Amino acid sequence: MSDKNDDSSEAIAPDDSRAAREAAERLMAESEVNIFEGVRQEDGGPVLPVRLKPEDMFCLSCHRDVPCWNACCYGADVTLTPYDILRLKGNLGLPTREFLERYTYSDIWPRSGLPVAKLQMGADGKGACGLLDEEAGCTVYADRPSTCRYYPLGLGAIKLKDAEEGQEKMDFHFLVKEPHCKGHDEEKLQSVAQFRTEQGIEPYDRMNRGWIDIQMKMASWKTIGGPQGRDLSEQTKRMFFMVSTDVDEFRRFVFGSKFLDTYYVEDATVALLQTDDEALLQLGFDWLKNVMFNEPTISLRKNVLQAAIARTRGELGAV
Ligand code: SF4
Ligand code: SF4
């Protein structure tokens, strides 16, 4: 409905005009990525095109008596985040490699072009999740993945070019309204923030932040062909996959290669990395950001840095 007081032909002062133009340019420069979606269709049909804020309300109730109980655990597109994998392998008491082999398959996340692990849904991808018990429901409920916690909400992020420092990224939510989900017909009204708390999403978002940042950056750079206009090497993609999916393998890499001779890591942190998977993940994200985007998230040891400078000078013919 139009508002009679909202006269779009009204003259605006030069300052307002400039502000409006800048706002429009900023909007044009936005790149938007949906991180958790969990839908079955790639055409985006069931995703409602409304960005939700934490205080926005929506109707949903999911419980054992809904006629669609467990329907969303068939044929779903569940990309596993690094923290999802830590929680799931812990719940099942399996080494990472065994968990990945039994329950997942690898795929390319189309928005970023980076390799990811997804939950296997039957042999043809349309069946039941391997972690579903058709009578009892999700067998790993306390440690279910981020996408399952979010559903039927999704998480998206916008990267604003030219925004002020610290405000370049903005998360938002959206509703996924697939016909099979009858929870939307229930009367329970809640805010996005209440739903997030009820579903225990906060620690997942916190632990996955570095991984989400990398996916976002690659998604926005994909349009220009990768960092500095180049695609990532296969080796870099393999390193990304190792850190993102197999913390056991990354630990073997950190302690069995020249990693700790190359990068400076405090002694107390090195001791922690022997046993603490979460600390190892955070180191992995910092390392990837440095390797992939040259961000100053991890430091080379002084002697390695000096040798690299001398090598570069030699190559440039400097005295
Ligand atoms: S992990 Fe649990 S909630 Fe998620 S799809 Fe599988 S069975 Fe369903
Ligand atoms: S389809 Fe919707 S209401 Fe049904 S079990 Fe899944 S989330 Fe709950």
Q: Which residues line ligand 1 (CB under 6 A)?
A: 73, 76, 78, 119, 129, 131-132, 138, 140, 144-145, 148
Ligand 2 atom nearest 186 alpha carbon: 3
d(CA 249, CA 243): 8
Q: Which residues line ligand 2 (CB under 6 A)?
A: 62, 66, 68-72, 151-152, 180-183
Give residue 252's pLDDT: 97
Which pLDDT band holds residue 111 (cuts at 50, 70, 90)? confident
Asked whether the whole model's pTM tops 0.85, one would answer no
**Mean pLDDT (whole number) for 237-242:** 96
Which of 40, 68, 177 for a ligand 2 pocket mutation test, highest count of atoms within 8 Å of Cβ?
A: 68
Please determine, for residue 12, whether its predicted confidence score (pLDDT) is greater than 50.
no
Please determine, for residue 227, whether its predicted confidence score (pLDDT) is greater than 90.
no
Q: Which residue in 81, 212, 211, 108 sits closest to 159, CA to CA?
A: 212
| Whole-number Cα distances in Å, 206 to 18, 293, 298 | 37, 21, 19
**Mean pLDDT (whole number) for 252-276:** 96
Distance 59 CA to ligand 1 centre (A): 22
Give the SS3 label for residue 229.
Answer: helix
Which positions ≥6 away from 73 have C-beta within 8 Å? 128, 129, 132, 138, 148
Q: Which residue in 116, 108, 119, 38 sits closest to 82, CA to CA?
A: 116
Side chain identity, residue 46: P
Ligand 2 atom nearest 63 alpha carbon: 8
Please determine, for residue 151, whether its predicted confidence score (pLDDT) is greater than 50.
yes
Please determine, for residue 27, whether its predicted confidence score (pLDDT) is greater than 80.
no
Residue with the two structure tokens 């992939």: 292
Instruction: Report H helices in the chain.
Output: 14-29, 82-92, 96-103, 146-150, 192-198, 202-222, 234-245, 247-256, 259-262, 267-273, 277-293, 302-316
Which residue's CA is the nearest one to ligand 2's atom 3?
Answer: 183
Give residue 166's pLDDT: 62
Burial of 158-197, coded b for 16+ CB within 10 Å and e otherwise, reads bbbeeeeeeeeeeebbbbbebeebebbeeeeeeebeebbe
Please determine, for residue 29, whether its predicted confidence score (pLDDT) is greater than 50.
no
Which pLDDT band holds residue 228 (cuts at 50, 70, 90)? low
- The ligand placed nearest to the CA atom of residue 146 is 1
Which pLDDT band holds residue 30 (cuts at 50, 70, 90)? low
Which helix (H) or strand (E) element contains residue 118?
A: strand 114-119
**Mean pLDDT (whole number) for 171-186:** 89
Among 29-33, 177-181, 231-235, 296-300, name the most confident range: 296-300
Least confident of 82-96, 159-173, 203-217, 292-306: 159-173
Distance 167 CA to ligand 2 centre (A): 35
Pairing of strands 31-36, 104-109: unpaired
Percent of the chain at pLDDT above 90?
58
> 52: which 2 tokens?
């939700």
Higher pLDDT, 27 or 94: 94
Q: Which residue in 140, 124, 130 sits closest to 73, CA to CA?
A: 130
Please determine, for residue 135, whether its predicted confidence score (pLDDT) is greater than 80.
yes
- The ligand placed nearest to the CA atom of residue 177 is 2
**Mean pLDDT (whole number) for 188-192:** 94
Which pLDDT band holds residue 218 (cuts at 50, 70, 90)? confident
**Mean pLDDT (whole number) for 204-216:** 92
Distance 184 CA to ligand 2 centre (A): 9
Which pLDDT band holds residue 156 (cuts at 50, 70, 90)? confident
- The overall average pLDDT reported for the chain is 83
Give residue 5's pLDDT: 33
Which pLDDT band holds residue 13 (cuts at 50, 70, 90)? very low
Burial of 120-150, coded b for 16+ CB within 10 Å and e otherwise, reads bbeeeeeebbebbeeeeebebeebbbbbbbb
Enter the DSSP assignment of 73.
Answer: G
Which residue's CA is the nearest one to ligand 2's atom 6?
Answer: 72
Please determine, for residue 91, whether its predicted confidence score (pLDDT) is greater than 90.
yes
Higher pLDDT, 192 or 305: 192
